[in-house]
Amino acid sequence: MTPVSARLPDFPWDKLQRYAATARAHPDGIVDLSIGTPVDPTPAVVQDALRAAADSPGYPATVGTERTRQAAVDWLTRRHGVTGLGLDGVLPTIGSKELVGSLPLQLGVGPGDLVVYPELAYPTYEVGARLVGADTLASDSLTALGPRVPRVLWLNSPANPTGRVLPVEHLKKVVDWCRERGTLLVSDECYLECAWDDAEPVSVLHSSVTGGDHTGVLAVHSLSKRSNLAGYRAAFVAGDVAVVAELLAVRKNLGLIMPGPVQAAMAAALDDDEHAVEQHARYAARRTRLQAALTRAGFAIDHSEAALYLWCTRGESCWDTVGWLAERGILVAPGDFYGAAGREHVRVAFTATDERVDAAVDRLLGVDPG
């Protein structure tokens, strides 16, 4: 029997290990900007809610508590102007990567079906499709699909790795295209509150995109970045009530249940905007310092108007850039991890501590870009 792992691409981060060793050898230690993992404290309001819900001896319901789902609905309405969403259109998930990776399986996608995702994209969209034997296509062009109709089409705005924000007009065009063909549109919106300068990302569930009808549309949201909850695995999917009901039916059988205390913590995080505003300011300051230093060191920065990364290039192979930065104790992600179109870019996260960001800035400012 062929192992399931044979269907999957090589785990890309394994290729980075020798560069990580080089960066760790720097006299002042490594500055790891390769992964966008939160490093700041989980907000007190969330920790308090987790402690208060710690006595949780019974099995939680897969559908989630009414309190948790209502907090998600209220947050989307309050912060992102989404209307017409009820409790039956929301389902908590055990982090967003779990859902992204297993969504094709949960929806019955299989051999002969097509899953489409952005040309530069988070690798798990492809992994989920290949796991069930579906065909995959990385493309930003609807016309490139020809006559073939995808079962699932992924959008990601704000995007990982580029930080690109798709305008409302484009989102609406894709929604209309998918509805005409019966394709399920799934929008990964995990960076929706991580926008910079004048960028204004819009949820695919907003009425300006859907016309107030969520049929055929799902949005995936995570609290990992907004609220420093990566360790809690707190996320949710929202949108088309029929698709959410199908996911719920499957997830009940699989036992994919968010723990009760985590649900309480997630609800508290969604209800509180103050900590999110404070965290946004921390990231904005780190981004400003790194952006200036990278530019001074001769990098061009493309897109990067949102998300937690700077999408940079020196006009050379991404691996040459990775090596150049590793020699200075800075570890970043090569752009080709996210697709062939990223072969000359690197992704630089600004989720490190202030001290480590300052160390990276000092090392970059010591470089003569000429």
Is this prediction's pTM over 0.85?
yes
Last residue of a domain, one of 226, 255, 272: 272
Claim to verify: residue 144 and residue 243 sit in the same structural domain = yes
**pLDDT > 70: what percent of the chain?**
96
Claim to verify: residue 8 and residue 150 sit in the same structural domain = no
A 10 A CB-CB count for 167 gives: 12
Cα dihedral 72, 77, 83, 84, rounded to 10, equals: 30
- Mean of all residue pLDDT scores within the chain: 95
Q: What is the pLDDT of residue 10?
A: 66
Residue-wise pLDDT for 337-349, tens only, equals 999 999 999 999 9
Q: What is the pLDDT of residue 2?
A: 67
Claim to verify: residue 126 and residue 253 sit in the same structural domain = yes
Last residue of a domain, one of 214, 244, 272: 272
Residue-wise pLDDT for 89-141, tens only, equals 999 999 999 999 999 999 999 999 999 999 999 999 999 999 999 999 999 99
Claim to verify: residue 103 and residue 237 sit in the same structural domain = yes
Residue 144 domain flag: yes
**Mean predicted confidence (pLDDT) in 208-218:** 97
1, pLDDT greater than 70: no
Residue 49 domain flag: no
Residue 267: C-alpha distances to residues 37, 55, 67, 162 (Å): 21, 17, 7, 30
Q: What is the pLDDT of residue 228?
A: 95
Residue 50 domain flag: no
Q: What is the pLDDT of residue 367?
A: 61
Residue 264 domain flag: yes
Q: What is the pLDDT of residue 248?
A: 98
Residue 28 domain flag: yes
Residue-wise pLDDT for 32-85, tens only, equals 999 989 999 999 999 999 999 999 999 999 999 999 999 999 999 999 999 999
**Mean predicted confidence (pLDDT) in 304-313:** 98
Residue 310 domain flag: yes
- CATH number for the domain including 355? 3.90.1150.10
Please name which of 71, 95, 105, 100 lies closest in space to residue 258, comparing C-alpha atoms: 95
For the chain, what is the domain count?
A: 2
Claim to verify: residue 30 and residue 125 sit in the same structural domain = no
Last residue of a domain, one of 211, 239, 272: 272
Structure tokens, 303 = 């897109």
Residue-wise pLDDT for 268-281, tens only, equals 999 999 999 999 99
pLDDT band at 370 (very low <50, low <70, confident <90, very high): very low
Q: What is the pLDDT of residue 146?
A: 85
Residue 370 domain flag: no
Claim to verify: residue 241 and residue 296 sit in the same structural domain = no
Claim to verify: residue 247 and residue 357 sit in the same structural domain = no
In our burial notation (b when 16+ CB lie closer than 10 A, e otherwise), range 234-265 reads bbbbbbbbebbeebbebbeeeebbbbbbbbbb
Claim to verify: residue 199 and residue 133 sit in the same structural domain = yes
Claim to verify: residue 246 and residue 326 sit in the same structural domain = no
Claim to verify: residue 357 and residue 212 sit in the same structural domain = no
Claim to verify: residue 32 and residue 93 sit in the same structural domain = no
- Residue 62 CB partners (closer than 8 Å, separation 6+): 248, 251, 252, 255, 256, 257
Claim to verify: residue 199 and residue 345 sit in the same structural domain = no
Residue 350 domain flag: yes
Provide the domain limits for residue 346: 4-41+275-365
